[in-house]
Structures are given as C-alpha cells and as structure tokens.
Amino acid sequence: MSALTSAARLARPQRLVRSAKIRTIATAGAYRLPSPFNEANARSPERDDLLSALKDLRSQLPIAVPNVISGEERTASDPLPTQMPSEKDQIFAQYSPSTRQDVTEAIDAALGAKQQWQDMSFSNRAAIFLRAADLVTGKYRHQLLAATMLGQGKNAWQAEIDAAAELADFYRFNVSFAQKIYETQPTLTAPGQHGRTDWRPLEGFVYAVSPFNFTAIGGNLVSAPAIMGNVVIWKPSPHSIYASYLVHKILLEAGLPPNVVQFVNGDAEMITDTVLSDSRFAALHFTGSSDVFKSLWQRAAEGVGKRIYRDYPRLVGETSGKNFHLVHSSADISNAVKHTVRASFEYAGQKCSACSRIYIPASKSKQFLDELRDELDSVKVGDPETFENFYGPVIHKGSFYKVTRAIDEANKDPSLERIFGGTYSDSKGYFIQPTVYASKSLDHKLFEQELFGPVLAVHVYEDAEFDNLLTKIDEQGGGFALTGSIFAADRGIVQKAEDKLRYSAGNFYVNCKTTGAVIGQQSFGGSRSSGTNDKAGSPNLLMRFTSPRTLKEEYGPLKSVLYPSNLSNQIKSTPLLTPNFNTPFDSHHLPPNTTPSQTTTLTGCNPPRPCMITAITNLLSNPSLFPGYADTIRPWPPRQQNLRMTFSNKPTAQIPQQPRHLQTLLHLPQVSFGDAAYANHGPHPPSIGPNHAGSHSTSDDGITSRVKPAEADMPDDSPCVGVCQRVCDQHVHKR
C-alpha cells in the first residue's frame, strides 16, 4: 500500500478537523505522486461477482436515496420514484427531494468547509481521490456496475467502461493534471527577486449538474473542481440517482470531509433558482442537453447584469452532438461498417458522442449498406442483465416517445428509404430496434435533429462531390460540433478532411468511431452548441476552477526613483557604442579621437570579441549608467598594487590601481583574467583563471578606453564572453 493511500485512510473528517487546530501544514515538499494509469476492464472471472451484485441489488428494490447535506443523510416523507428503464413497472429508487431551505443550508455548509479544505496540502487532497479510485475498482466495483445496469439500462460492458474504468481514470488523472497545474510557475526569475503563481480555488462554490448517461461524468463534475480546493453543490439526474449516491458515498469513505460536496436531489428548477440567486455562486459545471445549458447561461448572465455575484461565474458545459461518420471511396469499408454500428447503437445511441449521420460514396454504397444490414441482423436488443444483448432500453418514457415519434414520421416520409429497423415496443421496457434511414437530400431534418436514440441517417453522395460535401457537413448538424470521423486510406483525403472540418468537431477521429474517448488518451469536448470545449480529461478543465494569483517579491531596497533616461542631462558621458558580434575589429570601432597608433597591449583577456570591446568601452566610459556593476567591486589582495601593461612601441609601464572602473570590470563575478597580468605582483584575485593575452588603448587622462582583439577567436565558454554579454545586456536593457 502506498504512503498516500495510507495517509488517505487515516484522514477521516474528524481527525482532519482536530489536526487543523494544531497545525496547518504537517510536511512540505514537491511530492511526486503515483503516475496515473487506465483501469483495465474486467473479464470473465468477475462475471459471477457481477451477477451476484445484480441479484443482491434487485432484492433491495426500491432503493431509498437520501439527500446528504451538512454531513447528514436527510430523507423526506414524500420520496419521488424513478423506474427501471428495462422494466418500466419496477420502481428502481425512491429519492428524497430537497427543499429550498435544504439547498440554502447545503450552500452555507459547503462554504463553511471551504477554508479548511483549500488549506489542506495538495498531497492530502490528492490521496483522498486516489483512494477513491481504488475503492471504485475494488470494493465497490460490482455494486457500481449493478446500479448502472439496472438504473441506467447499460449492458455489462458499457457499465464496466463507465462506472468502473472511466470513473477511476477521472480520479487518478485529475490528480495528475492538478499536480502539473501547481507545478506551472514563472519561467524566469530575475536576480534579486522571486516570482510565483498561486493557483487559488474560486471564491465561492461550484454548482455541478450531472446527466443520466454516464456514472463517471458525475464523479468528474464533482472531483475536477474539488481537487483544486473548491466546494461543490451536486445536483444529480434522478435517472442515475443511486449510482450517483454511491459515488458520493465512496468519496466520503475515501476521506473527503463531509461538507466539501453536498448531495442535493429534487426539483431541478427550484435547486437551480436557489443556486443562481446566491451571491456566492462561482461556477457551473454541467453536462446535459444544449437547450438546458443555454437557459442556465442566460440566467447566469442575468445575474451578472443585476450585479448579484461577487465575481464573473465560470460556466463550463458539455452538451449535445449531431455527430458524423464520413466514408471515402479509399476506405476499408468493412472497418467503417463495424465502427458505425458501435458508434450509432451501443447504449441505444444515448452517448453524447454517438454517430447519428453518415455519408457514403456511391461507388461503395452497396457494399456498405449490405454489410451494415448483416451486422445489424446480429445485434440483440433487450434486458441489460442478459450479457449477450448489444444494448438495452432508452432511459425513460419521455425519451422513448421523442424517438418513436420521429420514427413514425420517418416511416411515412416518401423521401426516405428505410434501410433497417423502424420498430419498437414499450410493453415491458423502453426498447427501440436499431433504425437506419437513407435520404437523397442533404437537407432532410434527420441530419439536423438530435434524437439521442438508436436512429442513423444516411446520405449516399457522388464520389466527385466529396469536396463540396465537406462544406455541407460543416454547415449542418444542428449547430453542434462534438465528434466526427473520416474513414479513408488516402492520406491526402484525410488531410483535406482534417482541414475542412477543423471546427466541425472537438474530437475528430481517423478510421475509427466517434465514441469511446479514453481519459489520458483523448480529452473530450466540443464547441458551437456542443459546449465550451474545456476538455474533460485534461488539465485545461481543472484550470477553469482556479483563480490564479501572481506574486512577486524583491529582496533588496530600491536605490533611486530615477531611471537612467532621467539622468541623461546630468551626466557627462561618452556616446554609447552598439555591440556587434560579427564585424572584425578595425579603426572604425575605436572610440572618438582614438587612432590605432595609440593602441597598447594589456596582458589580460585574449582574444576579445568586438562585442566585448564595445561593452568594456561603454562600461568604462559611462560607469554611472551601469550602477549594478559598480556594486561588484571587491578589495584587491594587499600585495596587489598595480597592473602591468605593455605598450607596443614603448617600454613597460606601471599603471596605478586607478581607475577603479577597470577594477570593477576585472572583479565581476565569473570573470577570469590571465596569470601574466599579475606576474611578480603577489597572489591572484579569486576569479583569476587561464592565461590570456590581449591589447588595450589608453586616452590622455589615463583611463583605459579600448581593447583590441587578437587574431584567434574566443571560445564560447570563455568567462570573458560572459562578462561581455552581461554588460551588453545591461546596456541594451536600460536603453
């Protein structure tokens, strides 16, 4: 067992409270958390355990689901029922609706826990969700699968990849994403100061609204903001109520403080109205229909207009799609058919990423449609507890009637050809056979209308019209832009489709279906009417629930109010030269009124580059413009009294210890001058390095003003290059 898992097991809410009174930070460090991984899907050895869990759950029906507010389970005297979609006469759960007072208390309780939660070290917050992932894939795995199968109508495989694998993936990868966010700090820090980024949680609470079709989505809507230190009011769909309750229960067992996430059931309109009327509302995390999300956006905008909120609320939503498969004549047709059956009909077409429109080339249409019929003949529809069934019912009566009304209209439409299906029955549950219609017109409403059921619209296009078809696909689709796929072996066609359909889908696939994004492999989300495209399963989503603060600290005092430009008329200075890294040295590089005949030799740096020449000249001629370098003067050793300079046409001369500007240059940190420069003059300064030789020029007042380069070039790692560059940079920056 990992240290983090052990820490999480010990981190019960009561113990967290007591610990916080004693100390706020137990340990400090940049912890390396366990690497995330995708949960493997269980195979046959677990089948008996799942069957046992299904049997056990059936024996408890109907399940009572309470509200969980202020750490307490609250049951109502008038619970509301939700039916099993595969057995409409069987009540699956009875959930307690919350009152407006319950919602207000939930908000207050969450915000009361916020300070302690956000102050908890990230490693401890992370441990809670990593432990929750282990509980999902271990102790509660089959219980979650059974709840998802009976309550949401998923078959065993769809429940497995959702309620076990994806839910655990969300927890593990969100922890990893959060760590990467916290590690994102300023790229540069200037000397004498420190900059950092404080990834604060939002100021207020997050409202999470989850859908019926994925148990894992509810877990993500809650965990993404909570991991970053936020508190959450969670309103689950009544049609996934028990699975959602289990997710909340698991988080509490993993060590989540009881008030961080409030579990609130009941009337969506009342709950939403209470939440959006609260000044402390900070963010909406939503998955559901596009129409509902737009209405929530409008209401939040009205709240902003009325100045209700302290901050602009973050609105994060993933909604609907009218997703497409586009098949090119170069495609592997059999592969395209199999992917289309899965994308369009698994989970009865109730995935937001499901394919509901497809475009087939005329040259391959017969092969495609023949193989499609053959594949659909093998698809079984029925009770999700019968593992051989490919998919089960649609979720509830309202969904059933919406889809079947569209089927009835299509069956009577002379412009449509029924390729397969078109039948349904609600005698036991809400079952609809896989249904396919072909339309010669690209403008038929089946290519625009989102049904959220097992209905596929087909258009056969002329091969030569492929380019024009790309434009049409982009224009239609009900204004959605969630997922899309191109099937083609021709890479030029793939590239063309990727370019032309760039904004037609937030998730675009090549030679594979539109469904099945895996956390850590494909982040998920779309734009246009499909949502805000903040990409679930990525750091980008978690960043939406942060309010970054930038901090800067300087360690030393400010020495002057004035800038160098303010001093220009008060200083007698020599015109600054421009550094040149490439031009050879010649007479035009000399300072004003200096000739080559005045050049002398200094036993010092060898060989200086033109840029260093310019830098040294600027430094020595205008020391006041480079005050930072004057501060670097260090005392010379006692016996170090002067420098020896050799003149090219004169005998050896002794230059006094002045000027101090030259000392400044020679004593910059990391600067090396040759041993010969100090021959017979006692010990060398600490910065003395390899032997160098060079040349120097003096003006009449005795101040060294010019360095002449030797024939050879200076190696890039020479310390002389460092000082040259630093002086050049100082000059360029301050100008």
Which residues contact residue 523 at a Cβ distance below 8 angstroms, ignoring those fewer than 6 apart? Answer: 517, 535, 536, 537, 538, 540, 541
Count CA atoms within 13 Å of residue 543 on its CB side. Answer: 15
Q: How confident is the model at residue 606 (pLDDT cuts 50, 70, 90)?
A: very low
Mean pLDDT score, 305-316 = 98
Q: How far apart, in whole angstroms, are the C-alpha atoms of residue 482 and residue 319?
A: 9
Q: Which is higher by pLDDT, 300 or 707?
A: 300
Helix or strand run (H / E) with residue 109: helix 100-119
Show the beta-strand stretches assigned E in 156-313. Answer: 193-201, 205-209, 232-235, 261-263, 281-287
Task: Please write the tens of the pLDDT for every residue from 653-693.
Answer: 333 343 444 444 443 333 333 333 333 333 333 333 333 33
Full-model pTM: 0.75
Total length of the chain:
735
701 pLDDT above the threshold of 90: no
- Give the pLDDT confidence score for residue 496 in this predicted structure: 98
Q: Are 271 and 98 in contact (CB under 8 A)?
A: yes
Determine if the peptide bond prior to 62 is cis (ω within 30°).
yes
Q: Are 718 and 691 in contact (CB under 8 A)?
A: no
3-state secondary structure of 188: coil
- Give the pLDDT confidence score for residue 155 in this predicted structure: 98
- Pairing label, strands 527-528, 480-481: antiparallel
Q: Are 144 and 215 in contact (CB under 8 A)?
A: yes
Q: Which is higher by pLDDT, 84 or 45?
A: 84
- Give the pLDDT confidence score for residue 565 in this predicted structure: 87
216 pLDDT above the threshold of 50: yes
Q: How confident is the model at residue 31 (pLDDT cuts 50, 70, 90)?
A: low
Mean pLDDT score, 44-66 = 93
The tokens describing 371, both together, are 């193989």
The tokens describing 719, both together, are 């310390």
User: What dihedral angle (degrees, nearest 10) is formed by the CA atoms of 362, 364, 365, 369?
Assistant: -170
Q: Which is higher by pLDDT, 216 or 699?
A: 216
Task: Please write the tens of the pLDDT for every residue from 222-253.
Answer: 999 999 999 999 999 999 999 999 999 999 99
50 pLDDT above the threshold of 70: yes
Output the DSSP codes for 138-167.
Answer: TTTHHHHHHHHHHHH---HHHHIIIIIIIH
Mean pLDDT score, 130-142 = 98
Show the beta-strand stretches assigned E in 330-479. Answer: 355-361, 416-420, 424-425, 431-432, 435-439, 455-461
Q: What is the end-to-end Cα distance of the chain in Å, rounded? A: 60
Mean pLDDT score, 51-62 = 97
Count CA atoms within 13 Å of residue 710 on its CB side. Answer: 16
- Give the pLDDT confidence score for residue 625 in this predicted structure: 55
Q: Exposed, middle or buried by CB within 10 Å (0-12, 13-18, 19+), for 178? A: buried
Task: Please write the tens of the pLDDT for every residue from 536-575.
Answer: 999 999 999 999 999 999 999 999 999 988 886 655 545 5
- Give the pLDDT confidence score for residue 588 in this predicted structure: 42
What DSSP character marks residue 287? E
User: What does the mean pLDDT of the chain come to?
Assistant: 82
211 pLDDT above the threshold of 50: yes
Nearest to 217 by CA among 230, 227, 229, 208: 208
Q: How confident is the model at residue 32 (pLDDT cuts 50, 70, 90)?
A: confident
Nearest to 489 by CA among 359, 336, 325, 323: 336
124 C-beta neighbours (distance < 10 Å), count: 20
Which sign, positive or negative, has the C-alpha torsion 75, 77, 80, 82?
positive
- Give the pLDDT confidence score for residue 495 in this predicted structure: 98
Show the beta-strand stretches assigned E in 616-655. Answer: 643-646, 653-655
- Residue entry with tokens 């998802």: 148
- 612 — alpha (psi -120 to 50), left (phi > 0) or beta? alpha
Q: What domains can you pick out in the chain, each with its CATH number?
A: 3-24+99-319+540-549 (3.40.605.10), 323-521 (3.40.309.10), 564-734 (no CATH)
Task: Please write the tens of the pLDDT for every residue from 424-471.
Answer: 999 999 999 999 999 999 999 999 999 999 999 999 999 999 999 999
Mean pLDDT score, 289-313 = 97
Count CA atoms within 13 Å of residue 91 on its CB side. Answer: 11
Mean pLDDT score, 402-417 = 98
Q: How far apart, in whole angstroms, are the C-alpha atoms of residue 402 and residue 148?
A: 23
Q: How confident is the model at residue 38 (pLDDT cuts 50, 70, 90)?
A: confident
509 pLDDT above the threshold of 80: yes
601 pLDDT above the threshold of 70: no
Q: Which residues are catalytic?
A: 318
Q: How far apart, in whole angstroms, are the C-alpha atoms of residue 614 and residue 536?
A: 55
